[in-house]
Amino acid sequence: MTGLCKRQVLALWLGGAAIMASPVLLADKATDARLDSIERKLDSRGLMDMLSRVEKMQQEIQRLRGDIEVQAHTLNEIQRRSREQYLDIDRRLQQLESGQGGAPSASAPALAPVPGMQTDSMPPPVTTTPPPVQTTQPPVQSTPPAMQASERADYDQALAILREGRYDEAAQAFDRFLGSYPGSSYADNASYWLGETYYVTRDFDRALATFKGLTERYPNSPKAPDSYLKTGYIYYEKQDWAAARAALDTVVSGYPGTTAARLASDRLQRMKKEGH
């Protein structure tokens, strides 16, 4: 074969190879384009999914934040009320520990009012408009010296239990005391501390019955103004605003100038601000 023929054959062969390669190249380009399109779609869909998840997480965080704020407010309110209750009973117990507790005595000097309480030796307050009271009190029975010593020992033991914060046991001790010595000169004090044990443990129904019983049976007791005050506090906790206002007004009008009257006035102002 001549040189010309060889060149022609080679040219034909190269041309055929090029023709055969063209569809392959075109197919590769089309595949690349499709893959690029799919990748863009996947990237876009993934981004949208991610944005959706982020938005849901933000909404959940906002909801949780709102729940936390509500719970924090509720916790603060509970802590505030508990602090008021424990400070109140601590002041009373400190008064007793300082030796100022005991039964009322005609020779005992008058003591300065302690916030939230009247001391055992404080004389009954002078009132301008006294609350409705009974004209007589249960007579104090005369007891032998030995019985008086036992009576005082049982009363002191109940107070000691209360000082230790064993409120359930203190309630039982004061209840036993009142059952054993119904005519005791300490009966009004024991009734008051019994009501306090119920009040501190938020047994409001029994506390209310105890404080009301004290004011009915011992209207001239130094514990009467504080019992009216706690009655108002309990009705406040029960959201019986009319009854709370009536009890607190009784303290303000019936025992002016006392610490109980000042505390009752403060609670009335608070109720007014709260719209009750």
pLDDT in tens, 244-275: 999 999 999 999 999 999 999 999 999 999 99
Q: How many residues does the structure list for the chain?
A: 276
The DSSP output letter for 117 is B
Residue ranges for the chain with pLDDT beneath 70 = 1-29, 32, 35, 39, 41-48, 51, 62-63, 65-67, 69-147
**3-state DSSP assignment of residue 114:** strand
Residue 211's pLDDT is: 96
Burial class of residue 52 in the structure, from the number of CB atoms within 10 Å of its CB (0-12 exposed, 13-18 middle, 19+ buried):
exposed
φ/ψ bin of 97: left (φ > 0), alpha (ψ from -120 to 50), beta (otherwise): alpha
Residue 172's pLDDT is: 95
Residue 218 and residue 137: Cα distance in Å, rounded? 6
Which tokens sit at 55? 């938005």
Residue 22's pLDDT is: 55
**Which residues lie closer than 8 Å to 101 by C-beta, 6 or more apart?**
95, 119, 120, 159, 189
Nearest to 218 by CA among 260, 185, 170: 185
Looking at the DSSP bridge assignments, the partners of residue 114 are 117
Residue 224 and residue 100: Cα distance in Å, rounded? 18
Q: What is the CA radius of gyration of the chain?
A: 42
Residue 125's pLDDT is: 40
Amino acid type, 145:
P
* pTM for the structure as a whole: 0.52
Give domain 123-132+144-273's CATH number out of 1.25.40.10, 3.40.50.10490, 3.30.360.10, 1.10.3720.10. 1.25.40.10
**3-state DSSP assignment of residue 244:** helix
Residue 263's pLDDT is: 94
**191-218 b/e (C-beta count within 10 Å ≥ 16 → b):** bbbbbbbbbbeebbeebbebbbebbeeb
**Which residues lie closer than 8 Å to 203 by C-beta, 6 or more apart?**
none
Which tokens sit at 234? 């309990």
Q: What are phi and psi of 242, to 5 degrees?
A: -65, -45
Task: State the sign of the Cα–Cα–Cα–Cα dihedral 173, 178, 184, 190.
Answer: positive
Residue 26's pLDDT is: 58
Domain ranges of the chain: 27-86, 123-132+144-273
What count of other Cβ atoms lies within 10 Å of the Cβ of residue 102?
A: 18
The per-residue pLDDT for range 78-93, each reduced to its tens digit, is: 666 666 666 666 666 6
The answer to whether 137 touches 214, Cβ cutoff 8 Å, is no
Give CA angle at 218 (213, 222), nearest 5°. Answer: 115
Residue 53 and residue 74: Cα distance in Å, rounded? 31
CA atoms within 13 A on the CB side of 5: 2
